Structure 1
Amino acid sequence: MTAGRCTHILDFRDDVVVKRYTSWERGEPLREWAALTLLAEHAPGLAPTPLEAALNAHPPVIVMSRLPGRTLRGEQATGEQIKAMATALNRLHQIPPEVVEGVEPAAWRPAAAVDKTRVWADKQPDLGNNPLVQEAFRAGVAWLASNAPDQLTTNPLPPVLGLADGSHANYLWDEHEGRMRLIDWEDSGRNDRAFELGEVCEHISRVDGALDAEQLLVHIDLTPGEAQRVRDFRRLIALGWFLQLGPDGPATPHNPVGTVERQAERVLELLS
């Protein structure tokens, strides 16, 4: 949940994409190459095919296949797109747990999200004087003070390989084949499935278009316990973005005017 971070430059060629990293202190090239290699074996076609890598170069470089389509960010997602998105996520989450156990944990995962959101709340960011915004802040702080967020830090279910980044720009829609593929694996790692679904539903990129999260979750097989965890992760992630949307907040420059008010409504809806 880092706003405005750019870690790479992409060179699009006829059949391949060359990705050069401008920042790699968090191991982004290694994470991406590991994920693409695993996906090529266990879920071929779901992501770009890894072709070449110079992981120790300066800068590190990965060459991968170029996939057709356009990213979902900025789209008013249709029912067909949402169903294809769910199909892609279900396939990703069906990679055997024993395979996923060998993957490095994602840097952005439940414990980190809980800690960072509480830190942001403790700073009492300037979110303006709108009564709705102030109500959302009070409700969010009260929820963070409960034990609900702490219960999210222990995963009772097998882990999944996850993008650890819910940006809708990471979902590539191929209208000719009617399928969704997943791109940009530099933050990926072993993660909690409910957290990953919460990220997709509540990433701030949703304000650039429209994605019916409830419709997406209809196509995801969830037990009642998982469904509640997804709901709580949605609360956590929506609140985290909300706390970054003050006049000096890191997420503000990248989102349209009125986003803090819209996010306040979202937070209150999810906490109700």
Structure 2
Amino acid sequence: MSRLPGWALGGALSAAQLDGLQVALDALWSVRSGEVEPIDFEGFVARVRRGISSWDGGGLVGEAHRAAGEWLAGTAVDALVEPAHPVIGHGDPNLANYLWDGERVRIIDFEDAGGSDLAVELANLVEHLASRGTDWSAFLGRYPVDAERLADARRLFAAFWLTLIRPGGPSAHRNPPGTAERQAERFLGLLE
């Protein structure tokens, strides 16, 4: 990152940073997606289903797992596999991969990039743990996506994060106490 000007985005993004992020994402998403390998979204969905079904803990996190299992058993998530609005997906929307120089956002770290879907990419961005400091409501309104498709994609990524940060999860040790419970609340809120 020292070769590009700027610093990693993080925390609550300012209006200027959100505008810069939109310009950068619009540039990425304007590239024809049919010329790159698609991201294995079907494999991702299967991974989330396995992760949710493999845990039987209790408390609020357990309640969210049970609700996620019921939701994942439905057909809504399967509709996300086929892109409705094909775009090049970044694949790793951690805000640390978006550099802000005070005027412009530059996107880095494309190792997970591939063909994707606009609603899926937006959901991946706003549901990433690094994005929690920002209210994304107005930003999401800038994009012409089906609201229910976006809601389903957000539920899927929220369930994915639940599998990572739950007690004993592969990323649980990297997060402060209470993160799994906050994620459980977030997932359950997205079901409403």
In the superposition, the TM-score normalised over structure 2's length comes to 0.91
How many Å separate the matches in 1 of 2:53 and 2:25?
34
* 2:93 corresponds to 1:166: yes
Q: RMSD over aligned Cα, in angstroms?
A: 1.8
Contact 1:160 1:190 in 2 (8 A): yes
Which amino acid letter does the alignment assign opposite residue 138 of structure 2? Answer: Q
Q: Which stretches of structure 1, 4 residues or more, deviate above 3 A after TM superposition? A: none
> Per-residue displacement from partner, 1:159-208 (whole Å, max 9, x unpaired)?
21121112111111111xx221111111111222221111101012235x
Map 1:105-116 → 2, pairs under 5 A: 105-106=38-39, 109-116=40-47
Q: Which consecutive unaligned segments of at least 5 residues does structure 2 have?
A: none
- What is the match of residue 181 of structure 1? 106
- Deviation of 1:125 (Å): 4.9
How many Å separate the matches in 1 of 2:140 and 2:178?
27
Hey, which of these two has a bigger chunk of strand by percent?
Answer: 1
Contact 1:81 1:173 in 2 (8 A): yes
The one of 53, 57, 62 equivalent to 1:122 is 53
* 2:142 corresponds to 1:201: no
Contact 2:165 2:179 in 1 (8 A): yes
> Per-residue displacement from partner, 1:8-66 (whole Å, max 9, x unpaired)?
xx7x4xxxxxxxxxxxxxxxxxxxxxxxxxxxxxxxxxxxxxxxxxxxxxxxxxxxxx2
- What is the match of residue 71 of structure 1? 8
* 2:63 corresponds to 1:101: no
Which amino acid letter does the alignment assign opposite residue 79 of structure 2? Answer: Q
Contact 2:56 2:62 in 1 (8 A): no
How many Å separate the matches in 2 of 1:231 and 1:166?
18
- What is the match of residue 222 of structure 1? 144
* 2:151 corresponds to 1:231: yes
How many Å separate the matches in 2 of 1:136 and 1:240?
12
Rg larger in structure: 1
How many Å separate the matches in 2 of 1:203 and 1:242?
11
* 2:191 corresponds to 1:254: no
Map 1:33-112 → 2, pairs under 5 A: 66-73=3-10, 75-95=11-31, 97=32, 100-106=33-39, 109-112=40-43
How many Å separate the matches in 2 of 1:213 and 1:140?
23
Which amino acid letter does the alignment assign opposite residue 163 of structure 1? Answer: H
- Deviation of 1:79 (Å): 2.1
- Deviation of 1:138 (Å): 2.1
Contact 1:113 1:237 in 2 (8 A): no
Compare relative contact order (CA 8 Å, sep 6+) and give the higher one, 1 or 2: 2
- Deviation of 1:120 (Å): 0.6
The alignment-based identity, stated in percent, is 39
How many Å separate the matches in 1 of 2:30 and 2:159?
29
Q: Which consecutive unaligned segments of at least 5 residues does structure 1 have?
A: 1-9, 13-65
Which amino acid letter does the alignment assign opposite residue 174 of structure 1? Answer: D
**What's the secondary structure of 1:212's corresponding residue?**
coil
